[in-house]
Structure 1
Amino acid sequence: MARIAGVDIPREKRVEISLTYIFGIGRTTANQVCQATDINPNTRVRDLTDEEVAKIRAYIDGNLKVEGDLRREVSQDIKRKIEINCLQGVRHRKGLPVRGQRTQTNARTRKG
């Protein structure tokens, strides 16, 4: 398995699919990474050379926020909203849906 951004990506899948195993990279971003590094997105990870894996790793480390950094930023944003007592912060604190979803029915997962 190739290890990129601290994640073992599966060897048998195509590059554009296997990059989505990294938190913060979806299909669109995976295609952008492949395009920027001149790698065919349909290539299997097992067929990549060490130089190609290094190019992908360097591009992701230099240009994208992924994994721990992204998770930390999201949690800090939520904490900041809770501290300034904005409506979204209050909803987070109460454990209710934050983005205007209805709660009279549904929202069972969030409400408990």
Structure 2
Amino acid sequence: MATVNIAGVNIPSDKKVPYALMYIYGIGKTRAFFICKSLNIDENSRTKDLSEDQLTNIRNFIDENYKTENDLKREKSGHIISLKSIRCYRGLRHLANLPVRGQRTNSNAETRRKGII
């Protein structure tokens, strides 16, 4: 078993389970450890050592409880589109390709403003 497919992502088989789960977009360190704890999976075990039942339990748990990968990305881009359409301050900053969260633009944000100047 070279790689394991969970939530449409091939996660590496040689890593410990929580760190392998972090390869899935939308699952960070805290969620990965919570998933292992709630499914009684040893956090020090490797992905290649999991049984098919454990892999199925992980897949089902993630599908039922979390939005991951494309669903999360679609929702996130939908929020940005709605900000742009109502023309609020954050939406205007997105439209202008400027920093959204109050950062300086005089001496920083060069990568965000790359194509403007």
Give, in whole Å, the separation in 1 of the partners of 2:8 and 2:69: 8
Correspondent of 2:15 among 2, 13, 16: 13
Correspondent of 1:73 among 72, 75, 83: 75
User: Could you list the per-position Cα deviations for residues 71-110 of structure 1 after superposition, in whole angstroms to 9, with x for gaps in the alignment?
Assistant: 0000000000000001000000000000000001110000
Over 6 Å off, 4+ runs: none
Q: Which amino acid aligns with 2:10?
A: D
Q: Does 1:60 align with 2:65?
A: no
Give, in whole Å, the separation in 1 of the partners of 2:60 and 2:39: 10
* Residue aligning to 1:34: 36
Structure 1 gap ranges (5+): none
CA RMSD across the alignment = 0.5
* Residue aligning to 1:49: 51
Give, in whole Å, the separation in 2 of the partners of 1:83 and 1:38: 45
Structure 2 gap ranges (5+): none
- How many percent of aligned residue pairs carry the same amino acid? 46
Deviation at 1:2, TM superposition (A): 1.0
Higher helix share: 1
Q: Which amino acid aligns with 2:102?
A: G
Correspondent of 2:85 among 83, 98, 105: 83
Give, in whole Å, the separation in 2 of the partners of 1:41 and 1:93: 43
Q: Which amino acid aligns with 2:78?
A: Q
The size of the alignment, in residue pairs, is 112
When normalised by structure 1's length, the TM-score is 0.99
